[in-house]
Structure 1
């Protein structure tokens, strides 16, 4: 695989299923090198696989499709050239789509009421005079912002303190109908879902005193006109993605338990599935076992409620399974599993069909349907766009850390005979996982002749709560290094891998660990490539969009000893630092401080800064920037490894 082969990826997103179960609609995403943009259109395919997928819309950027329950309409979000996403609807029986909104900052997350009369959606509402709402007032001429809480910016968005997200409801059937704002206040509100009788909404929001200074997010419900607002939870949880059960008696939601447990860190704890009475008559309870549940927090819709329980996307040793948790507390059962990842899904209420977007180590994604009897069909063949690209399969490798702890990982091997130079790749988070997906980075490095070693040391998700919490007391710096080195040593037992030519690299938390390994175990490596990392706790706490809550997990007196910058003088191997100018997760100053320290110490170092990009450069940055990044890294590895 070459860097520009990322333009050949065709990736379907979360599907929606027609009420009669006969058809699926999904957005298909790809990038174009010219004009250097991302594109997405809506496609449809019969559920029985009787016909090939066909395109419904021509974009340029259509996403978030949602069937009306009566099957007559399809709602979706469309972004036209130079604009922001707006809400559109089109008749399923044929006809042109029409736009329903003109929101200044765009809309997201459309969802129909069960009676098909209304659509709820989410939109950020700017303060008067900001973000183009006052004629002739450019951003540099806006009045000053007043900041009073820790939470006031978000990576990829910018300032949020002056443009809270609110819930709206619109009648899509009446020409000229205006959206009605349901929520109010200076609080961010999550996606809203209707009750089965279409009379109420449920959503998550942090509306308590002190919101923005802690991690608490509660579940709220109100009438569809915004009246009778009441909370269903009262703290102790960081909730997201709330849905009514089909009978309307309860609300299920995903949440992070914020309860203080000695030695544990909330940032290294996984989300699980909870349930609470919809009338507010009881306290929430956990439906899933917190010891081994890892709800995929990156998914737009990580749960779905059905008659018998909640279906959720669960991380599991590098896979993402679809699992059913019964309401009665019975044992959970896997619906879709295997060496693959289900990253978006929908289900019928009676669970006669589960439709999912599923990828693997050699497939970027296909639409798969699973019937009630367990029969499974793949409805699409978009991976054919990569048929002329050699994709290296992931080979499992296991290791034993010095204390006897097992470590799980993979080798992605280049073509031809070795010995191949080796790259140890460290994932971000740290509470995330590498796994069974087509990871463009591993494939590009393997395509250039490097054997990639990657795995999930302690601190990762998908291996149980104890595994994630193992490095809580040092933010997984000192404690994780032995796991990574043990995995590397196990991989190097393969004579195809050259133990004398090894580099280490990673992004975000992986960048932090790369700098840590370079400082403490530099003799193992010839070079380091560290990206968008956190290198100094003291400034990260103040400048990161969520640094304040990360550092709460570590006593301030220990910040220096857990910061890679403290040991920068020990880094003697050539080091490449890559960072984005608009990164708000790990701000640019982190890279500048590390670069300054290495440059001053006489270490061979280069700093590459990408303009206009945020923390997600490697995943969703400009296509030209993503390719440039690959070229920079491959050039560096060629020179130093």
Structure 2
């Protein structure tokens, strides 16, 4: 795979399954160089493998499909080129999509009511005078912001307090109605000046339905879903006293009749907690079972202060909707459960579990009974059940996204959206490996070997997080580097997710200890096992926490010919005041004393670095702010280490995953140029 092949990476949404189970709809999105954006449409996938998938829509970017419970209407999010994403609906059998929202900053997640008559959606609500709400007031001309809270920014979003995410309810218009037509000519003249002004305004002209605002608190409201009987909307939010000083969130519900019209807010007492006794939990998702007897939710226990988030596995809980003590159904020591929660049968839910470099699908009942529906080296990205059939979207070593149905053994794959990638770019299958650390601890990971007999230069790639995991699924980074002649090593050292809570928490207040030991042991084990690897031509690289551990390692180990430190967590001291998560993250991982921070800080050891290092950062990164990279680069340069600073405008912490296609390609090209200089191969040498 080469940098220009990123346009062949097609990501597939969770399947929206028709109630009769005969077919599902997914969005298929890919990077596009011409538009320098992400484009995609909706596809219909039949349960009959003999029927090829067909494209349903032709919008610029159509995503998040959801079929109404009665099977009649398909709702989805459409974004025009340069426009905000808005909710659209179309007849499930096909037709012309109709916009039903015009939210100033766009629409986020949404959910259908059980009777298919209403949709609840989330949208950020800007303060008057901000974000283009007043003509002629640019971003630089807005009023000053007075900040009094810790939590006021978010990577990829920016400021949050002046545009909290609220929930809205709209009645779905009948698609059989006559389409609205703007008055023109004599009709417009006869209607007068006011009608002329209103003709360009879709809402006042009656083209769009009114959306009734359900929430108003000055904080984000997430994960909205209807109760099984349609009478309430559940959501998660931090509405408790002192919510700015912890990471706790709760489950709340509001009756759908709380706002009679667009100008009437629900009374405060109508927005009330739905689960008591969860004061130390961070709630991630909530959903009632189809029979309405069980309220499931996902949560992490953050300890008595509500801040101990380090490597806290997420657990599945259940309680009666009417209220009672919640019962934990999964063991957070051994399982890390992820959502969204999807109903299965009458009383169960589908959830995902991060497990040893895979993501498996589980079906869990209210008594805690659990069945693994998928196994093996596969990453389940989404799932849904209808008419007794479970559908999944997934990635594995050969695809960046496809759709399958389950039943009786291996999943039956129904699509092959990655065929062009394999045919044009080629895909190398990773080898799964385990090597022992010096203390005997097993370190699990993968090797992506380039073609040819070698010896191959080796790149040790370290993931971010740190509570995250590499998987055996197709990974564009490894494919591009291996395609250029490099052997790529990836492992999940202690501190990673997927191997139990103790594994993840083992680096709390001990960053750069057993985690560095593990990645170097994995490297040494591979060098000893494979004669095709060149132990004298080693590079090391990583992003975010991977940038941290790369910078930390090259201050201890000088055998690497080159290094790349990307969007790194490099100085816990300045991180505290500059990062969106700085007020808690560094202190929980390194400890809060100055001595602890210095003992685990790459900046404190930068004088020991000898390795030529490329520093990569994005100007709008709020997670690991650009000052981390700026200071690290400057210090390297001042002490005479060969270095360069690659800075991307307009990008945030997610550049490598969701940055603009042009910047993603340019990033790969610059990385290969760096390695071509310090670790040349037959196909990648410095010009």
Among residues 239, 242, 245, which one is paired with 2:286 in the alignment? 242
Distance 2:345 2:574 in 1: 46
User: 1:182–1:225: 8 Å Cα contact kept in structure 2?
Assistant: no
User: 2:432–2:472: 8 Å Cα contact kept in structure 1?
Assistant: no
Q: Which residue of 2 aligns with 1:178?
A: 210
What are the Cα deviations for residues 42-68 of structure 1, in whole angstroms up to 9, with x where unaligned? 010112224100000001010111101
What are the Cα deviations for residues 408-450 of structure 1, in whole angstroms up to 9, with x where unaligned? 0111000001110000000000000001211000000000000
| Residue 444 (structure 1) aligned with residue 480 (structure 2) | yes
| Residue 381 (structure 1) aligned with residue 424 (structure 2) | no
TM-score in terms of structure 2 length:
0.89
Q: Which residue of 2 aligns with 1:550?
A: 585
Among residues 331, 335, 348, which one is paired with 1:309 in the alignment? 348
Q: Which residue of 1 aligns with 2:221?
A: 189
Distance 1:260 1:638 in 2: 51
Shift of 1:581: 0.5
Q: Which residue of 2 aligns with 1:221?
A: 253
Distance 2:303 2:57 in 1: 47
Of 143-152 and 67-76, more deviation after overlay is shown by 143-152
Shift of 1:308: 4.1
| Residue 404 (structure 1) aligned with residue 440 (structure 2) | yes
User: 1:53–1:380: 8 Å Cα contact kept in structure 2?
Assistant: yes
User: 2:344–2:363: 8 Å Cα contact kept in structure 1?
Assistant: no
Shift of 1:477: 1.7
| Residue 535 (structure 1) aligned with residue 570 (structure 2) | yes
Shift of 1:265: 4.7
| Residue 517 (structure 1) aligned with residue 517 (structure 2) | no
Shift of 1:306: 4.1
Shift of 1:261: 10
Q: Which residue of 2 aligns with 1:168?
A: 168
Among residues 489, 498, 521, which one is paired with 1:453 in the alignment? 489
Shift of 1:388: 2.7
Seen in structure 2, the aligned counterparts of structure 1 residues 304 and 434 have a Cα distance that, compared at 3 Å, is farther
Among residues 495, 505, 508, which one is paired with 1:472 in the alignment? 508
Distance 2:296 2:471 in 1: 28
Among residues 427, 430, 450, which one is paired with 1:414 in the alignment? 450
| Residue 487 (structure 1) aligned with residue 522 (structure 2) | yes
User: 1:41–1:61: 8 Å Cα contact kept in structure 2?
Assistant: yes
Q: Which residue of 2 aligns with 1:35?
A: 35
Q: Which residue of 2 aligns with 1:198?
A: 230
Shift of 1:35: 2.3
When the two chains are superposed, the root-mean-square deviation of aligned CA atoms in Å is 1.6
What are the Cα deviations for residues 264-311 of structure 1, in whole angstroms up to 9, with x where unaligned? 95221121212232122x122211111111124xx6x25545434221
User: 2:45–2:54: 8 Å Cα contact kept in structure 1?
Assistant: yes
Shift of 1:595: 0.9
Among residues 322, 325, 339, which one is paired with 2:361 in the alignment? 322
User: 1:242–1:251: 8 Å Cα contact kept in structure 2?
Assistant: yes
Seen in structure 2, the aligned counterparts of structure 1 residues 375 and 390 have a Cα distance that, compared at 3 Å, is closer
Residues 31-110 of structure 1 mapped to structure 2, 5 A cutoff: 31-110=31-110
Provide the secondary structure at the position in 2 that maps to 1:344: strand
Return 5+ residue gaps in structure 1 as ranges.
Answer: none
User: 1:31–1:39: 8 Å Cα contact kept in structure 2?
Assistant: yes
What are the Cα deviations for residues 63-110 of structure 1, in whole angstroms up to 9, with x where unaligned? 111101111100011001221010100011332111001100100212
Across the two proteins, how many residue pairs are aligned to each other? 630
Shift of 1:177: 2.2
Q: Which residue of 1 aligns with 2:194?
A: none
User: 1:243–1:305: 8 Å Cα contact kept in structure 2?
Assistant: no
Provide the secondary structure at the position in 2 that maps to 1:592: helix
Provide the secondary structure at the position in 1 that maps to 2:109: strand
User: 2:571–2:628: 8 Å Cα contact kept in structure 1?
Assistant: yes
| Residue 559 (structure 1) aligned with residue 618 (structure 2) | no
Q: Which residue of 1 aligns with 2:538?
A: 502
Distance 1:620 1:508 in 2: 15
Shift of 1:213: 2.3
Of 573-582 and 139-148, more deviation after overlay is shown by 139-148
What are the Cα deviations for residues 333-392 of structure 1, in whole angstroms up to 9, with x where unaligned? 2102211111122122x6x21111111122111101113x44632111112112132211
Distance 2:225 2:334 in 1: 28
Among residues 598, 609, 622, which one is paired with 1:571 in the alignment? 609
Q: Which residue of 2 aligns with 1:639?
A: 677
User: 2:294–2:347: 8 Å Cα contact kept in structure 1?
Assistant: no
Among residues 208, 213, 220, which one is paired with 2:240 in the alignment? 208
Provide the secondary structure at the position in 2 that maps to 1:266: coil
Distance 1:222 1:339 in 2: 41
Provide the secondary structure at the position in 1 that maps to 2:317: strand
Residues 119-158 of structure 1 mapped to structure 2, 5 A cutoff: 119-158=119-158
Distance 2:83 2:245 in 1: 33
User: 1:43–1:53: 8 Å Cα contact kept in structure 2?
Assistant: yes
Residues 602-617 of structure 1 mapped to structure 2, 5 A cutoff: 602-617=640-655
User: 1:75–1:110: 8 Å Cα contact kept in structure 2?
Assistant: no
Q: Which residue of 2 aligns with 1:277?
A: 320
Distance 1:473 1:136 in 2: 50
Distance 1:466 1:311 in 2: 25
Q: Which residue of 2 aligns with 1:287?
A: 329
Distance 2:98 2:224 in 1: 23
Distance 1:339 1:151 in 2: 38
TM-score in terms of structure 1 length:
0.96
User: 1:252–1:305: 8 Å Cα contact kept in structure 2?
Assistant: no
